[in-house]
Amino acid sequence: MAELSEEALLSVLPTIRVPKAGDRVHKDECAFSFDTPESEGGLYICMNTFLGFSKQYVERHFNKTGQRVYLHLRRTRRPKEEDTTAGTGDPPRKKPTRLAIGIEGGFDLSEKKFDYDEDVKIVILPDYLEIARDGLGGLPDIVRDRVTSAVEALLSADSASRKQEVQAWDGEVRQVSRHAFNLKQLDNPARIPPCGWKCSKCDMRENLWLNLTDGSILCGRRYFDGSGGNNHAVEHFKETGYPLAVKLGTITPDGADVYSYDEDDMVLDPNLAEHLSHFGIDMLKMQKTDKTMTELEIDMNQRIGEWELIQESGVPLKPLFGPGYTGIRNLGNSCYLNSVVQVLFSIPDFQRKYVDKLEKIFQNAPTDPTQDFSTQVAKLGHGLLSGEYSKPAPESGDGEQVPEQKEVQDGIAPRMFKALISKGHPEFSTNRQQDAQEFFLHLINMVERNCRSSENPNEVFRFLVEEKIKCLATEKVKYTQRVDYIMQLPVPMDAALNKEELLEYEEKKRQAEEEKLPLPELVRAQVPFSSCLEAYGAPEQVDDFWSTALQAKSVAVKTTRFASFPDYLVIQIKKFTFGLDWVPKKLDVSIEMPEELDISQLRGTGLQPGEEELPDIAPPLVTPDEPKAPMLDESVIIQLVEMGFPMDACRKAVYYTGNSGAEAAMNWVMSHMDDPGRLGWGAGWGGAAARPTHFNPFTSTDFANPLILPGSSGPGSTSAAADPPPEDCVTTIVSMGFSRDQALKALRATNNSLERAVDWIFSHIDDLDAEAAMDISEGRSAADSISESIPVGPKVRDGPGSECPLKPEQAWWDLARWLHQVCFPGVVGGGGQGAEASFHQLDSWRWVPRTRESLWAQCMPPVP
C-alpha cells in the first residue's frame, strides 16, 4: 500500500464524520460477512456511514456510495497471560456472585479471555493509500484534530452489536416483604443452636429453612432433577400459614436468604436481626456454611445438566469442520434462533434462495445492507454453509495445534440478523428465553413478506388443513381449508405404555411423603408417537356451534385432516401445558420418534357421497335471545389488559362471562387459549409461555379485529374508521407487492394503522387472493372458468404422506420431509422459562448437535 499524502487526506476531509450518540457504529463485523477485526484482512469502517466491511467487500461499498476514507482496524489475538497479582496489584478474576448480567458481581460479558495487539490505520480507496494512527503528527493542526477526533470517537463508541447484547440485568432485585414489619412470632420458642441442624420431619441436613414465626427447621423444595429437599417447609406453611423462613447456613452479618411463601418469592426482611434474636441467633456471630439460592441458580446456569444427557456425556466426540459444519454462538438465550436457522439452511430450497443467489442479493442490496432482510439472511446462510468460519485451529511451529484452541471453532455470531429479524417485536427484541416454534413462525412470516414476487422457500413447509364440522342435530357438514406450517401433536397421557409403573411410582411417592422419606427414583410416562397421531385426528366436540341449517346453536363434531402434504413436515410435540396456577410447565414424558413416518391415513377426502353441506349463510349479528348490545365492564377490561392480554381478547372474555368480574374473565381467557382464532391472537401478543401453541400468523384471526357485539353496527360505525386511509400508507403497502384495493381494505380494517394493516393482509391472505381471483374471472363464461381455473390462495405443494419408492441409501434423506427432516429441536430443562433449545441433525448417518459454536459427531441417536 502507498503512503497517504496530505493532499489526499484533505480531499476527503469533508466526508469524515464524528459519530454522534444516535449513530450505529458497525465496527465489530462486516455487513456482508462474518469477518471481524480479528480476521486476516481486518475490518474497514467507513468514516462517513460507520458501516464495517471486510477486504472482500469494502470496494463494493466504495463503488456504490463513492465513500473513499475508511478506518482499518486489525486485531491480533494472543492468549491472555495468567494473572499474577503480586507484581501488578490487579485483583484476581472473580467468579459470579450475583444472578445478574452486566453489573458488579454478575456475569461479565465484557471480560476478555485473550489479549489483543491492535493496528489502526486510515485508508483511502481505491488506491489503498494509508497512514498509521500515530502518524498524523506531521499534518496541519486543523486536519490532524479533525481526523484524530473522528478516529478516537469511532474507537471509543459502543458498537451497534454491543448495544444489541444483553442489557444490564439483575435477577436478584428483591422487594421488602409485606410481613417484615408485623411478623407474628410465638412466645417461648426453642433456642436454635449455631450449627448441627436437621429437618424435624426427615433426615435432611442441608437446604434447611427456619420458620421465623414458630422456629420450625424444615427442608426445602424438591427440584425437578430430584435434588433439593422433601418439601417439608412449604407443607408447613400450607398447614400453618406462617409466611417467612430464612435459609440456615446463609446467615451472615450482611444478611441471609429469606423466602416468603405467601408472596412466593425471595424477599428482604429489614428486621431480620430482631427476628433471629427471638430464637437466640446473633447475626453478627454467624458464618456462611451453605450456598445461597443465588449461588445454586448460578451453578445451575453454569452446569451442563441435561445437555450431557443428549450429548453422550463421557464419550469423546469427534469435532467437525468445513462447509456445512459451522456452529452459532449464543447471543444471550438465543438457542431458539440457533436451532431454527440451522434447520432452515439444511433445506435445499433455502440454500437455493439465499446462498446460491448470494452475489445477486448483495448487488441489489441498499446502501445500508445491515437493514436489508435478504442480505442478512443470505449472509447468515453463507456463513453456515461456506466453511469459512469452521476451520481447525492453526498449528504452532512444531506442528501441534495451539492448546487453547485445539479442535475448537469459534462459530458465527448472527448479531445483525438477530437485530433485524427482532426489530420492533415485543419478545424477540429482548434477550429473554423464547419458544423456537414461535420464532419459526415469525421468521416464516418475514420470509413471506420479502418473497411476494419471487421464489418462496416457505412452500416446502406450507400445507392445507381440512376441517370438517358435522352438526349432530341435522347430520349436515361443513368443509373448510386453511394454510398451516406446523403439525402440532397433543400428548395423550392416558395412552402411556407404562401405566402400572407410573401407578406404582405414585404410590411409592405418596408413602415416602407420608413417612418423611426420600422420594423414589422418577418414572416418566412413555407415550407412543402413534398415540399422538391418533389424538391429532380424533373427533373433537364443539359446543355452542351455530348451525346454519337450524339457524340456532347446536353441538357439532370437528375432525382435522391434511388436504395436502408438504415437502418437509414440521412437527411440534405439545409438551408444555398450564398448571392450576397458570404457570407453564413441561410434561415429564418420553416419546420415541419413529425413523419412518406414514401419515397418509390423515389425508382429507372432502365432501363424500351422501353428505349434505350446511347452508352457506352468515350467522345473524343479533340472535333472538340477544336483542341488544350489552354493556361491558370497562374496569375489568382494563385489569386484564394490564396483565398483558390483547384488548379484543379481554373484551370477549368480559362479554362471554356476562360481566361476572375479573376472575371469571381471566378463567375464560385461559381456558379458551386453544380455540383456533377465538381470541384473535396477533403479532402484538408477546410471551412464549402464554401465547396459544397453535398460533399461526397466516391463519389466526387478526389481533386488531374488535369484538362485534350483538345489536351493534360493528366496527365500521365508529368515526375513526370513516377517515380515508393516508396515501403514504397506501403507497408503502403497494410497494410491498400488494394491490391498491388490498392496501385500502387493510387500512380501513385497522383504523389506518400501517403496521397492523400489513399484519392484517398476511392474516387474510387467503381471502384477498380468492377475491383477486374472482375479480379476474368475472365476466368469463362458465366453460372458460372451468377450463382456465385460477389458483386461489398461496401456492401449496402436495406429496404422498408416506414412504417414497427409494433405494435404501436414499430413503433416509429423501424421506426427511416425513421424518421431521431427519433433525429435531429439543428442549433441555424442566420449565418454560428455564430451558435451553437444542437441535440435532442426521448427517451421513451420524448425529450432529447444531445449537452451539462447535459441532461434533455423535453415534447414538438422542431421544427428544
Known binding-site residue numbers = 199, 202, 209, 219, 221-224, 232, 259, 261, 264
The span from the CA of 76 to the CA of 31, in Å, is 21
User: E strand or H helix at 441, and its extent?
Assistant: helix 436-449
- Triad 296, 297, 300: Cα angle to 5°: 90
Enumerate residues 6+ apart whose C-beta is below 8 A from 756.
Answer: 702, 703, 704, 750
DSSP state of 55: T
Q: What residue ranges in 528-654 does DSSP mark as E strands?
A: 540-547, 552-562, 571-573, 576-578, 584-586, 589-590
The span from the CA of 545 to the CA of 555, in Å, is 6
Distances (CA, A) of 729 to 27, 119, 300: 35, 48, 49
* CB contact at 8 A, 43 and 37: yes
Q: Residue 399: left if φ>0, alpha if ψ -120 to 50, beta else—which one? A: left
CA dihedral 675, 679, 684, 686 (to 10 degrees): -50
Beta bridge partners of 218: 209
* CB contact at 8 A, 587 and 576: yes
Which amino acid, residue 546? W
Phi, psi of 769 (to 5 degrees): -65, -35
Binding-site residues for Zn(2+), please? Answer: 199, 202, 219, 232
Q: How many helices (H) and strands (E) does the chain have?
A: 27, 28
Beta bridge partners of 129: 124
Distances (CA, A) of 189 to 182, 211, 216, 279, 698: 18, 11, 9, 6, 64
* CB contact at 8 A, 42 and 167: no
Burial zone of 221 (CB within 10 Å; 0-12 exposed, 13-18 middle, 19+ buried): middle
CA nearest to 698, candidates 763, 653, 647: 763
Binding-site residues for substrate, please? Answer: 209, 221-224, 259, 261, 264
Which amino acid, residue 728? D
The span from the CA of 500 to the CA of 526, in Å, is 11
DSSP 378-400: HHHHHHHHSSTT--PPPB-TTSP
Distances (CA, A) of 38 to 75, 79, 117: 5, 14, 10
3-state DSSP assignment of residue 463: strand
Which amino acid, residue 709? L
Residue that has been written with the C-alpha cell 402413534 in this structure: 530
CA dihedral 599, 605, 611, 617 (to 10 degrees): 100
Q: Where are the alpha helices (DSSP H) in 765-807?
A: 765-777, 782-787
CA nearest to 752, candidates 733, 724, 732, 713: 724
DSSP state of 159: B
Most distant pair of Cα atoms in the chain: their distance: 98
Distances (CA, A) of 52 to 11, 34, 39, 115, 355: 22, 11, 13, 22, 21
3-state DSSP assignment of residue 825: strand
CA nearest to 848, candidates 829, 827, 822, 828: 822
Q: What residue ranges in 527-661 does DSSP mark as E strands?
A: 540-547, 552-562, 571-573, 576-578, 584-586, 589-590
Phi, psi of 468 (to 5 degrees): -110, 125
Beta bridge partners of 260: 244, 265
